[in-house]
Chains A and B, each alone.
Chain A
């Protein structure tokens, strides 16, 4: 679908990219429901980009719901809070689906718990005023976010207080709230926008106040009509603008979102602030509202469990640290033709097998694919057709980058700007020869980095 975006500098889309089957139907009609309290939670000390936390608790100590359990002195880090009431266990070690291996605080659930409807009410309920942002000092907003341990909930998990802060070096004019959710299958943000649009709007107003952004734009892909309507109603009278964007992958990438809405080009290796923009995910905005208005930390998030490989796809309100197994069991278990379990969506998510791994702050979904879904034809030789060039959202030549990696040609890899690759997966998705382009390019990147180190 192509539509001109009215009232914005951008056209509502970006050049190139792909449009894989959306497959949102598995879970987009399932209302958010609270996950039953697990027996224990495991809180990895580094769920975010930046420095790991230091544990503030001792084994056998009792902690209450929302109590601070981990903290770092470094700026780029995020605090950790107990998502349940319970007793601290011996420090554990865990591996996350992305392969990072680290220490984790283990909490055994004990005592009275906030669960079910009471938990839903605690997270999403109550008043979400839209006229109070001016009552908060910009730095206090940043402080509340830092104390709450909020990170970008779209997947990158970058500490939010580093982004939502009065910036005198690079003035920001626009806060862009990202509700694109362009990965196929995933519906956590869609459901949140439909069921809890008001905290998102409040959070956006608070964040804009902190960064001194004059314009607030909430952007949603055109395939989420109900979410658009809900946000529109909640934002009425606040001056927040809603941008309905073309449904296309990777529309939710910061760089491409800024291009689609504002027609600004973020410099390679730069930040949105370089072009006067701060981008935040919708769920992050809701967490900000909760932290600033109610003083509550980031302890739960919405996780979408979806795909043909799960018996009952659901959108769950999950305590951080619950195991993937607990979520999958609650959704009726795996189906017999299960082929792959992915943390995240099918385009950029990580496949893993160990279901005892914990959900972290950055986990937006679990996609369960069947053999039918992952079926692909065998790899053949590259016939240089250039389909990868047609779809690369970064305007690279993936075939050449893969060739450079394969033949360990560092000069060629750099000539074709291998560092510009964001690993969106568009090239490998479209490749008629089924060449594992992303895999090869990752190899190439490592090769170039190793070479830089040696010289």
Chain B
């Protein structure tokens, strides 16, 4: 991993012949490296994964395993097809796998995970030129594909499996229950994660724990979750004021349910597909938050994070272009 060029000293006086020139700066920070950032994401996902395994047992384990293995294989295969250098060691394909595994219904059949992973890596990433080149969040591309192709496994009924041991997942997801039946899930359940949903999104607490770690490490930019949660909270709060839900579904429910927090901390923060400047990042987050709420209020889908992220990914180059910072001293 480290540079190998080095002239060895073999006895005798030390002379300047041992010296290699280079350009400034001659020192570099090792606090953040691309690999370390990927490792940080893994670490931050631990509470989320733990919660997923607690609630969905082997269903969640199976779904994550399928996605990670297929993502890694797809990356290896496609990169080989393109005659590009081996890229599994950067860890990004594994992260796509984990995020995807955590955002598909745990009980969805295996082929759904396989296809989602192939699409995520193949169409979401490699087609654009691999890591750093893709426009859309790969995991969300994969998820969107299966969401439309296999609506039955991905929509409301996909989550409900009466044969499961854990009580929570025999019920509808909080957003479905609210949208279809007007049933409001208690806030403590949303907070701790005792509800149905995608394995990664159920526990608000786990998302906050991992998310705060990511932001403190500066691996994720805090501006994105801040923009997203602020805007979603604002729109949710305004709705509560103008036309409160008759059954008592409030902005707090909105913020704690569905993929709002998982999306804010782990999906929208993908650096490759989000803007460069701090202000751009906030605008991006705000856009994701706003579109999520619009989709939740007005679309046929109960949840909107995935489409909101993809939509904002598409306008990221525009945001970058709008938010070029003013050079210091420029008039």
Interface of A toward B, CB cutoff 8 Å: 18, 20, 184, 255, 259, 265-270, 333-342, 346-355, 367, 369, 371, 373-378, 380-387, 389-390, 393-397, 399-400, 415-417, 420, 423, 425, 428-434, 436, 438-439, 442
Contact = CB atoms under 8 A, between A and B. Distances in A.
A352 B26 CA distance: 12
Interface string B18-52: 11111111111110111111000000000000000
B27 A383 contact: no
A432 B329 contact: no
Nearest to A267: B329
A395 B326 contact: yes
**Is chain B's binding surface mostly helix, strand, loop or mixed?**
loop
Interface stretch (B8-16, B59-67, B172-180): B8-16
A13 B106 CA distance: 51
Contacts, number: 191
Contacts of A268: 327-331
Given A351-B26, A390-B278, A415-B324, A339 B18 contact: yes
A434 B28 contact: yes
Given A340-B26, A384-B132, 12 more contacts: A338-B18, A338-B19, A340-B19, A351-B26, A369-B26, A376-B28, A381-B130, A381-B131, A390-B218, A395-B327, A428-B25, A442-B23
A348 B275 CA distance: 29
Contact of A384 (B14, B25, B276, B325): B276
Interface in B306-331: 320, 324-331
A384 B284 CA distance: 14
Interface in B70-96: 90, 92
B271 to A, nearest CB: 4
Interface string B115-141: 000000000000000111100000000
B26 A346 contact: yes
Interface of B: 1-3, 6, 9, 13-30, 32-37, 90, 92, 130-133, 218, 221, 271-272, 274-278, 281, 320, 324-331
A334 B26 contact: no
A351 B331 contact: no
A375 B2 contact: yes
Contact of B327 (A350, A375, A390, A417): A417
Q: Which of A268, A387, A415 has the most CB of B within 10 A?
A: A387
A375 B5 CA distance: 10
A432 B328 contact: no
A20 to B, nearest CB: 6
A431 B28 contact: yes
Contacts of A373: 26-27
A263 B330 CA distance: 15
A443 to B, nearest CB: 11
A429 B329 CA distance: 23
Contact of A374 (B26, B36, B275, B330): B26
A431 B25 CA distance: 11
Nearest to A256: B328
A333 B26 contact: no
B27 A336 contact: no
B276 A389 contact: yes
B28 A340 contact: no
A199 to B, nearest CB: 31
A353 B21 contact: yes
B32 A430 contact: yes
Contacts of A383: 34, 37, 92, 131-132, 271-272
Contacts of A393: 328
Contacts of A342: 24, 26
A350 B331 CA distance: 32
Given A334-B14, A416-B324, A340 B34 contact: no
A161 to B, nearest CB: 26
